Amino acid sequence: MRHLLSTRELSREQAVELLDIAEDMAAVQEREVKKLPTLRGKTVVNLFFEDSTRTRISFEAAAKRLSADVINFSAKGSSVSKGESLKDTAQTLQAMGADGVVIRHHASGAPYTLATSGWIDAGVVNAGDGTHEHPTQALLDAFTMRRRLHGAASRGRALDGVHVVIVGDVLHSRVARSNVWLLATLGAEVELVAPPTLVPVDTSSWPARVGYDLDAALAGTPDVVMMLRIQAERMHAAFFPNSREYARTWGLDDARFDALPPSTMVMHPGPMNRGLEIAARAADSQQSTVREQVANGVSVRMAALYLLMSGDRGDA
Amino acid sequence: MSERFLITGATLASGERADILLDGGVIAGVGSIADASGATVVDADGLIALPGLVDLHTHLREPGYEQSETVLTGTQAAAAGGFTAVFAMANTFPVADTAGVVEQEASLGRAAGYATVQPIGAVTVGLKGEQLAELGAMARSRANVRVFSDDGFCVSDPLLMRRALEYVKAFDGVIAQHAQEPRLTEGAQMNEGALSGELGLTGWPAVAEESIIARDVLLAEHVGSRLHVCHVSTAGSVEVIRWAKARGIDVTAEVTPHHLLLTEDLIAGYDPRFKVNPPLRRAEDVEALRAALADGTIDIVATDHAPHPVEAKESEWQAAANGMVGLESALAVVHAAVVETGLMNWADVARVMSSTPARIGRLHGHGEAIEVGAAPELTLYDPAAASEFDLDRLAGRSTNSPYLGRRLPGRVVATFHGGYPTFLDGAVRPRDEVARNATSAQGVVHG
Amino acid sequence: MARAVLSQADISRALTRISHEILESNRGSSDLVILGIPTRGVILARRIAETIARIEPDAAPPQAGALDVTMYRDDLTRTRTRTPQPTELPPGGIDGKTVVLVDDVLYSGRTIRAAFDALSDLGRARAVRLAVLVDRGHREFPIRADFVGKNLPSSTRERINVRLTEIDGDDGVAIDDTAATEGGEA
């Protein structure tokens, strides 16, 4: 794998392989010695144009546990104009000899630009670009679902027939996009539920059903309910009237949570707005995978970095 | 170089073969011309002779943005594309909103000599959409402005638009509207549809263009004014304009070459060369625009030639500038989009790229049919020279062409402006020669 | 051209002999952990553990497992990306145990070197031994096997092809002379 830019371009075999390698990485995380020598002498740069302490720390832990050297480059607030800074920064990284670049950017497609511009030779991992994709988040979500469903027998399996409901701001969510493509590739049945204002105008090509009624979707007893973070500024742009109405209509409140079968997983990419899209009871329940998602994030990112940075470069 | 040029064996837009003699300030002969002693002979066997092309929508960037383009380099690009007149958009710095700026622009064009530069005046002061610019002063200036536009920005205030439409009636002016409802396009990055949803790019909905056009044609009808719609890009806009024309509203419309050929699919790789405003649309829109140009709903092709320096496009999509250079490639792109597809013939091309744009802009001495006594403005085009469009074909200062590496069906071979070549055998003529010829040609006209 | 060098019976005899030798050198089966290196080493380790259990039915049977060395290899950026396999240790781990590493073919010794690194990250074995079905020579590291099924001097352009019923449908070892393909196991 040369780059990891989106889940859209992953085949089922590639996705399952990555999840299987993540299982091996997870096993390493349970040992006393949590480090592998695999990427010794390699340099991974965390290039963050947008703050995200959790994602950066997760990638940092993943790279360090593979023995790579990690350089954190926070480009936010840099004084160079936006357009120049990506190219100039890329050339700086190239000069420093980066082997892998993990990029988080506010602009959709920036990782593509970095990977295809010819400015750098390094493998590029998209750690979230604008409202486009966040592939490692979707991979860790799929990994978490697979582990909960199949436990030790997870290896080699996909998510065939697993019914996943994703709820919230689909329009602006890179997590939703990456999950839709990946989950569909893995055979899951994906349903999106959102206010009509927060769904792209045309989702006819998406491998997912779209609905506006959360109660109807939950009545279908999904295996997984994934709540997306809703951002307060959406309210001011008239996407919905106010947070009370949002929570009432599209929030996983106590009543909705209690009506779910105990086997239904409750997921959230974090950080959560408790009381808005998710009630505290649901978030802290046994059904919630929120903490596992964080731990699994490191394993999945180790697998991604391994696949990107091993193998000879001629072999795309 | 001599003052007489004999173009032999050219194919006219009508399909007839003819020799054309340019002598001094006019076309002195069309037909079979044996006796042309002292004339420089240009062999035009297999070439199509069209009246010099007229672009109603060019960004020359001077004054203010000379790192992108100047009047000189922009008109060299025009010459390379077969254009003999360009209408220069007002979004310079300072903005072309006073008589002084438009006169400066016109005189820079005359000094360069590659093409007639007809300034467009801003509709509102500083393109800010707040108060009318001195439209009358620009109209009465030596630049003789007849087209007014805030291009790049929409005159979105309906009252201001009404007043502008009314005001320019005093001097037979026209408002060229960049139709884009600003609130519906906040942060817009590409056409809104299935692809924008996938790519996570904020959508530029077709309705933001169509609703402004609908409003403007109704305003034009109400006040009995002339309206021109810039760069129409959607099938819905075509329907609105068709309806307005059927009602007898005095509206004209343009389409760019790129909206006739390229679709939004090209954006999938986030290559900023394809970032333009209005954005590339769906294949259905391209089909509708071609049909509208062929049936006359859309009157003309205009390039929206928008040069940008390299760094404005070497970035992530969102930070990249909107716009494409288009003068050098326009004729070949139109050839590919509507001639090769059998929708239009070369006489139609002459109409939509020369005579009608000159008429809409009230520009005299351009867009005249190739006949004895007509202005000596013409273009020779080789419709059989299919080749990959490359950097050598770009004559302006900027290289932000979406066609680099794309095969286009033909190429401009020569351009004559004021009776002299500005572009010959695939090369822009030297600057001092063109300037000298322009001075003598202007002497003929004015003397 | 493939040339058969070990039959099913030869393999069975070799593994039985190796099992006896392990028992002898360890003075019984106590504290023995037999770790196979994926893919075929894991099968051989399981068979050896079963054989030992049959030979000493009254003693505690030795524990078998798998030790993947992919992440410890020194050629990760030289060949195509390798997919790691699971490492499976017996519940008691390897601390204080005698670990017998099992692989199908011993060649350059690089895999075994990687295995030492992998092993040391998992704990502190009392002793580490090496058993291989075939030793084909051409060592690039100072490594030798304690228990060898068959010494098989070979040319580097030959490929040793080990087949095991659990994976390949039948047992057998053959030499392929394939100048065109990469030679043998690393």
% of chain B beyond a pLDDT of 70: 98
Q: Is residue A222 part of a domain?
A: yes
The CATH number for C31's domain is: 3.40.50.2020
**Mean of the pLDDT values across residues B358-379?**
97
Average pLDDT, chain A: 93
Are the C-beta atoms of B11 and B17 separated by less than 8 Å?
Answer: yes
Q: Is residue A97 part of a domain?
A: yes
C119: Cα separation from own chain's centroid: 14
Q: Is A82 annotated as a binding residue?
A: yes
Q: Is residue C80 part of a domain?
A: no
Q: Is residue A5 part of a domain?
A: no
The CATH number for A94's domain is: 3.40.50.1370
Cβ-defined contact of B200 to A202 (cutoff 8 Å): no
Same domain for A205 and A276? Answer: yes
Name the pLDDT band for C79 (thresholds 50, 70, 90): confident
pLDDT digits (tens, 9 = 90+) for A163-185: 999 999 999 999 999 999 999 99
Same domain for A65 and A139? Answer: no
Structural domain tally of chain C?
1
Name the residue range of residue C22's domain. 8-74+86-154
Q: What are phi and psi of B152, to 5 degrees?
A: 100, -35
- Supply the pLDDT for residue B11: 98
Residues facing residue A126 across a β-bridge: A103
Residue A312 has pLDDT above 80, yes or no: no
Q: Is residue C164 part of a domain?
A: no
pLDDT digits (tens, 9 = 90+) for C96-138: 999 999 999 999 999 999 999 999 999 999 999 999 999 999 9
% of chain C beyond a pLDDT of 90: 76
Q: Is residue C184 part of a domain?
A: no
The CA distance from A33 to the nearest CA of chain C, in Å, is 6
Q: Is the ipTM of this complex over 0.95?
A: no
Task: Tell me which of B350 and A232 has the higher pLDDT.
Answer: B350
Q: Is residue A90 part of a domain?
A: yes
**Mean of the pLDDT values across residues B371-376?**
96
pLDDT digits (tens, 9 = 90+) for A273-293: 999 999 999 999 999 999 999
Q: Is residue C179 part of a domain?
A: no
B304 annotated active-site: yes
Same domain for A97 and A151? Answer: no
Q: Which of B198, B202, B207, B313 to mutate to test the interface with A (most CBs of A within 10 A)?
A: B198
DSSP B266: G
Cβ-defined contact of C121 to A31 (cutoff 8 Å): yes
Q: Which of C72, C78, C87 sits opposite A27 (nearest CB)?
A: C87
**Mean of the pLDDT values across residues C6-21?**
96
Residue C11 has pLDDT above 90, yes or no: yes
**Residue B95 tokens, joined:** 């903005």
- What is the DSSP pairing of strand B387-388 with strand B378-382? unpaired
Q: Which of A17, A37, A307 sits opposite C72 (nearest CB)?
A: A37
Name the pLDDT band for C179 (thresholds 50, 70, 90): low
- Supply the pLDDT for residue A76: 66
| Long-range contacts of the stretch B334-340 (C-beta < 8 A, 24+) | B334/B257, B334/B260, B334/B301, B335/B381, B335/B383, B335/B408, B335/B409, B335/B410, B336/B261, B336/B408, B336/B409, B337/B257, B337/B260, B337/B261, B337/B286, B337/B290, B338/B260, B338/B290, B338/B293, B338/B294, B339/B383, B340/B409
- Supply the pLDDT for residue A160: 98
Same domain for A23 and A126? Answer: yes
B209 CB-near residues (< 8 Å, 6+ apart) = B179, B180, B181, B232, B233, B234, B236, B237, B278
- Supply the pLDDT for residue A77: 59
Average pLDDT, chain C: 91
Are the C-beta atoms of B63 and B107 separated by less than 8 Å?
Answer: no
Q: Is residue A215 part of a domain?
A: yes
Chain C residues whose CB is inside 8 A of the A17 CB are 83
Cβ-defined contact of A113 to B317 (cutoff 8 Å): yes
B340: Cα separation from own chain's centroid: 21
Rounded-to-integer distance, Cα B299 and Cα B164, Å: 22
Chain A residues whose CB is inside 8 A of the C84 CB are 21, 24, 306
Residue A81 has pLDDT above 50, yes or no: no
Q: Is residue A232 part of a domain?
A: yes
Are the C-beta atoms of B67 and B308 separated by less than 8 Å?
Answer: no
The CA distance from A86 to the nearest CA of chain C, in Å, is 28
- Supply the pLDDT for residue B439: 87
Name the residue range of residue A212's domain. 135-290
- Supply the pLDDT for residue A38: 95
Q: Is A134 annotated as a binding residue?
A: yes
Cβ-defined contact of A307 to C84 (cutoff 8 Å): no
Task: Tell me which of A80 and A296 has the higher pLDDT.
Answer: A296
Distances (CA, A) of C162 to C8, C46, C49, C96, C166: 11, 16, 19, 32, 12
Q: Which chains touch B (3 or more CB pairs under 8 A)?
A: A
pLDDT digits (tens, 9 = 90+) for A91-146: 988 898 999 999 999 999 999 999 998 999 999 999 999 999 999 999 999 999 99
Structural domain tally of chain A?
2
DSSP A103: E
Q: Which of A129, A174, A202 sits opposite B197 (nearest CB)?
A: A202
Rounded-to-integer distance, Cα B35 and Cα B41, Å: 12
Q: Which of A82, A116, A205 sits opposite B315 (nearest CB)?
A: A82
CA geometry: angle B122, B126, B128, nearest 5 deg: 100
Q: Is residue A3 part of a domain?
A: no
Name the pLDDT band for A78 (thresholds 50, 70, 90): low
Residue C184 has pLDDT above 70, yes or no: no
Residue A84 has pLDDT above 70, yes or no: no
Q: B6: part of which helix (H) or strand (E)?
A: strand B4-12
What are C's interface residues with A at a Cβ cutoff of 8 A?
68, 71-72, 76-87, 117, 121-123
Same domain for A130 and A147? Answer: no
**Mean of the pLDDT values across residues A233-241?**
82
Q: Which of A87, A103, A108 to mutate to test the interface with B (most CBs of B within 10 A)?
A: A108
Q: Is A196 annotated as a binding residue?
A: no
CB contact, 8 Å: A78 with chain B?
A: no
pLDDT digits (tens, 9 = 90+) for B25-43: 899 999 999 877 889 999 9
- Supply the pLDDT for residue A85: 76
Same domain for A154 and A105? Answer: no
- What is the DSSP pairing of strand C98-106 with strand C32-36? parallel
Q: What is the per-residue burial (b if ≥16 Cβ within 10 Å, else e) of B9-32? A: bbbbbeeeebbbbbbebbbbbbee
Same domain for A124 and A179? Answer: no
Q: Is residue C137 part of a domain?
A: yes
User: Which residue among the candidates B19, B97, B150, B304 is catalytic per the annotation?
Assistant: B304
Identify the CA nearest to B87 among candidates B153, B172, B144. B144
Task: Tell me which of B103 and B438 has the higher pLDDT.
Answer: B103
Same domain for A122 and A241? Answer: no
- Supply the pLDDT for residue C186: 45
Residue B148 has pLDDT above 70, yes or no: yes
% of chain A beyond a pLDDT of 90: 82
Are the C-beta atoms of C67 and C101 separated by less than 8 Å?
Answer: yes
Q: Is B91 annotated as a binding residue?
A: yes
Q: Is residue A115 part of a domain?
A: yes
Q: Is residue C98 part of a domain?
A: yes
Are the C-beta atoms of B173 and B147 separated by less than 8 Å?
Answer: yes
pLDDT digits (tens, 9 = 90+) for B261-300: 999 999 999 999 999 999 999 999 999 999 999 999 999 9
Cβ-defined contact of A35 to C84 (cutoff 8 Å): no
Chains C and B touch (3+ CB pairs under 8 A): no
A9 CB-near residues (< 8 Å, 6+ apart) = none
Name the pLDDT band for B2 (thresholds 50, 70, 90): low
Cβ-defined contact of A27 to C79 (cutoff 8 Å): no
pLDDT digits (tens, 9 = 90+) for B308-348: 999 999 999 999 999 999 999 999 999 999 999 999 999 99
pLDDT digits (tens, 9 = 90+) for B104-129: 999 999 999 999 999 999 999 999 99
- Supply the pLDDT for residue C182: 46
CB contact, 8 Å: B310 with chain A?
A: no
Same domain for A209 and A103? Answer: no
Same domain for A22 and A90? Answer: yes
From first CA to last CA, the distance across chain A in angstroms is 6
Say whether B113 sits in a helix, a strand or coil.
Answer: coil
Same domain for A96 and A146? Answer: no
Q: Which chains touch A (3 or more CB pairs under 8 A)?
A: B, C
Q: Which domains does chain B have, with CATH numbers?
A: 4-48+375-446 (2.30.40.10), 52-360 (3.20.20.140)
Same domain for A164 and A258? Answer: yes
Residue C183 has pLDDT above 50, yes or no: no
- Which chain A residue has its CA at the smallest distance from B187's CA? A107
Q: Which of A80-84, B49-53, C105-109 has the lowest mean pLDDT?
A: A80-84
The CA distance from A130 to the nearest CA of chain C, in Å, is 30
Q: Is the dihedral of CA B164, B166, B170, B172 positive or negative?
A: positive
Cβ-defined contact of B194 to A205 (cutoff 8 Å): yes
